[in-house]
């Protein structure tokens, strides 16, 4: 999911990277200025990045239900499948890295045939909450995703091995899977959770990455923005690029689109405003009221209606 | 009713200023800073007429001063300090008499002028220039789709304040309040101490 294709790489090198290098972000919006407004949090609540960015409910009442009314919300199919897909991507990548270290690059055949073997998926426990039909659907999609991910890693390994016959295992991992999955970040500087987890940080193309399954929404870019701010606060270096990888299943096939974007002044301001608004809602216990377009699939639907 | 480009600048400085401008107009004193600013503007205009465009990194072009721009479509109006026309390319220029560096309110003021200029000439403006006069520094600002959208959002928010007639949240930066012309009208500003703002939450 994270590896850019040829066209995207071209776009990255010719457009995004040069722009990111000269991106003039106002200093007050850089994460390392977390100790002063507007970045300094005004309330003592701590939010997860997804809590700040999610705008599936237009009034954010889902957050109010969970954080103020403290009602346990049962995950719906989309949440469960999203969690399962995330887990699959991480496990395939981790597994591939382990195999590279275990077998080493030579003899080549041993490693590549290990990477070719079918990957055994371990499902999150929430899958048991699904109907049989939903389970079957999820299993098929999960397999498709794991195969895709495995195939891409294998291709990269083979490519590097043909170019670099004397490479060691560590360098091979770095060249073929240059991504840190579930990158843990302490977001307390920004009033965010201590246990943030960015889906991925791509080291070769310095970019925060996030996976979404479902249709693209504008506010998805707030997730990468939140992680970028947290990274800047922790590491004191600029993080200017984000990428959302969208996975969609159509007729048993996985379709992947990527939205590369600059983490500019506007996204940063949007993130901070959203954080402040939501923190205030929780701290002051303000009921934001029902949205006027509630969907029955919303996990807070029962509580709200 | 069209809003003014300066409203955008003011809103970013502090949303409460919009309340003082539109809902509860207050008479504020003309400060020395404002008076001297006007004089500096006039002197600069004279100087600019004679200078080359080298400082803007443009070889040649025509300078146009103080164009009144208005767009019903965008819902904005304002008078732009200067713009440069080079081969059907248009660069809005805003003079800033600040010793500090350019700030976000200057940026979006410039973006707003760029959007108005686009309507005026029916063209696309890709870059604007902020001229920090005391430092003699030119800062190029790219007019990105996000920045344009952000201006539209601010316009919406300003209209919301005017419509709801509610006093918005005050500015959280103590320094801004200290320099603000409306400070004495903000009843709750005393409680907004530096200690509270700086309190770091862990
Ligand atoms: S004093 Fe502060 S809060 Fe009041 S209008 Fe000015 S900047 Fe805003």
What residues line ligand 1, using a CB cutoff of 6 Å? B 14, 16-17, 170-171, 176-177, 180, 182-183, 186, 189
- Cα–ligand 1 centroid distance for B13 (angstroms): 8
Q: How far apart are CA A180 and CA A162, in angstroms?
A: 24
| Residue B138 sits at the chain A interface (C-beta within 8 Å) | no
- CB contact, 8 Å: B197 with chain A? yes
The Å distance, Cα B182 to ligand 1 centre, comes to 6
Q: What is the pTM of this model?
A: 0.85
Burial bucket for residue A183 (CB in 10 Å: 0-12, 13-18, 19+): middle
Concatenated DSSP letters for A199-212? EEEETTTTEEEEEE
Neighbour-count burial for A23-52, b at 16+ CB within 10 Å, e otherwise: bebbebbbbbbbeebbbbbbbebbbbbebb
- Read off the tokens for A165: 């016959």
Strands A207-213 and A196-202: antiparallel
Q: B11, B12, B17: which to mutate for ligand 1, most atoms within 8 A of CB? A: B17
Counted residue by residue, chain B has a size of: 202
pLDDT in tens, A174-217: 999 999 999 999 999 999 999 999 999 988 777 999 999 989 99
Please give the residue of chain B at the shortest CA–CA distance from A221: B146
> Looking at the complex, does the CB of residue B114 fall below 8 Å from at least one CB of chain A?
no
- Return d(Cα A86, Cα A98) in angstroms, integer: 19
Q: Please give chain A's pLDDT, 305 residues, in tens.
A: 999 999 999 999 999 999 999 888 999 999 999 999 899 998 888 999 999 999 999 999 999 999 999 998 888 888 999 999 999 999 999 999 999 999 998 777 899 999 999 889 989 999 889 999 999 999 999 999 999 999 999 999 999 999 998 999 999 999 999 999 999 999 999 999 999 999 999 887 779 999 999 899 999 999 999 999 999 999 999 999 999 999 999 988 999 999 999 999 999 999 999 999 999 999 999 999 999 989 888 889 888 98
Q: How far is the CA of B157 from the centre of ligand 1 (A)?
A: 17
Beta-carbon contacts of B106 under 8 Å, excluding residues fewer than 6 positions away, are B9, B94, B96, B98, B130
Contacts with A35 from chain B: Cβ below 8 Å:
198, 200
Which pLDDT belongs to residue B35? Answer: 59
- How many CB pairs below 8 Å do chains A and B form together? 46
How far is ligand 1, taken at its centre, from the CA of residue B188, in Å? 10
- Note the pLDDT tens digit of each residue in B168-197: 887 777 778 887 888 888 866 544 444 444
**Which chain B residues are Cβ-neighbours of A43 within 8 angstroms?**
201
Distance, CA of B103 to CA of A209 (rounded, Å) = 29
pLDDT, tens digit (0-9, with 9 covering 90-100), for A150-167: 999 999 999 999 999 899
B176, B184, B190: residue to mutate for ligand 1 pocket, most atoms within 8 A of CB: B176
Per-residue pLDDT tens digits for B9-66: 999 999 999 999 999 887 766 555 555 666 666 666 767 766 777 777 777 788 899 9
Chain A residues whose beta carbon lies within 8 Å of the beta carbon of residue B144: 262, 264, 266
For residue B169, what pLDDT is reported? Answer: 81
Identify the residue whose C-alpha is closest to ligand 1 atom 7.
Answer: B177
Q: What pLDDT digit, counting tens, does each position of B73-128 carry?
A: 999 999 999 999 998 899 999 998 877 778 899 999 999 999 999 999 999 999 99
């Amino acid at each position: 999911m994270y590896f850019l294709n040829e066209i995207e790489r071209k776009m990255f090198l010719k457009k995004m990277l040069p722009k990111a290098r000269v991106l003039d972000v106002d200093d007050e919006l850089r994460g390392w200025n977390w100790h002063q407004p507007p970045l300094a949090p005004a309330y003592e609540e701590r939010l997860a990045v997804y809590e700040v960015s999610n705008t599936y409910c237009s009034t954010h009442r889902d957050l109010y239900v969970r954080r103020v009314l403290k009602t346990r919300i049962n995950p719906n199919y989309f949440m469960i499948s999203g969690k399962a897909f995330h887990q699959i991507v991480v496990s395939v990548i981790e597994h591939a890295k382990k195999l590279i270290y275990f077998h080493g690059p030579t003899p080549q055949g041993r490693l590549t045939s290990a990477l070719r073997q079918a990957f055994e998926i371990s499902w999150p426990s929430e899958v048991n909450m699904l109907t049989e039909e939903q389970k079957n659907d999820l299993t098929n999609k999960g397999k498709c995703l794991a195969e895709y991910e495995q195939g891409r890693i294998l291709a990269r390994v083979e490519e590097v091995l043909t170019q670099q016959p004397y490479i060691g295992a560590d360098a091979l991992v770095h060249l073929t899977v240059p991504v840190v999955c579930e990158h843990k970040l302490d977001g307390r500087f920004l009033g965010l959770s201590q246990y943030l987890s960015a889906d991925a940080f791509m080291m070769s193309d310095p970019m925060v990455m996030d996976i979404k399954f479902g249709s693209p929404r504008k506010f998805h870019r707030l997730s990468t923005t939140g992680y970028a701010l947290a990274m800047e606060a922790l590491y004191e270096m600029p993080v200017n690029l984000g990428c959302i990888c969208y996975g969609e299943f159509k007729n048993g096939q996985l379709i992947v689109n990527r939205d590369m974007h600059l983490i500019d002044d506007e996204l940063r301001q949007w993130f901070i405003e959203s954080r402040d608004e939501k923190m205030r809602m929780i701290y002051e216990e303000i009921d934001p009221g029902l949205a006027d377009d509630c969907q029955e699939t919303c996990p807070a639907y029962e509580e709200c209606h | 009713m069209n809003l003014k480009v300066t409203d955008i600048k003011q809103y970013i400085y502090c949303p409460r200023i919009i309340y003082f401008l539109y809902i509860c107009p207050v008479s504020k004193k003309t400060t020395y800073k404002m008076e001297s600013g006007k004089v500096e503007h006039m002197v600069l205009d004279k100087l600019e007429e004679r200078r080359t465009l080298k400082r803007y990194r443009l070889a040649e072009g025509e300078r146009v001063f103080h164009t009144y721009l208005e767009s019903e479509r965008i819902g904005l109006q304002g008078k732009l300090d200067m713009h440069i026309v080079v081969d059907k390319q248009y660069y809005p220029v805003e003079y800033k008499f600040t010793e500090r560096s350019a700030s976000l309110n200057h940026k979006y003021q410039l973006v707003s002028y760029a959007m108005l200029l686009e309507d005026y000439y029916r063209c696309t403006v890709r870059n604007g220039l902020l001229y920090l006069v005391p430092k003699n520094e030119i800062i190029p600002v790219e007019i990105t789709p996000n920045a344009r959208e952000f201006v539209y959002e601010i316009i919406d928010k300003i209209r919301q304040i005017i419509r709801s007639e509610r006093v918005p949240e005050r500015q959280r930066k103590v320094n801004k309040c200290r320099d603000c012309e409306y400070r004495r009208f903000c009843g709750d500003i005393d409680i907004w101490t530096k200690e509270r703002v700086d309190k770091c939450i862990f």
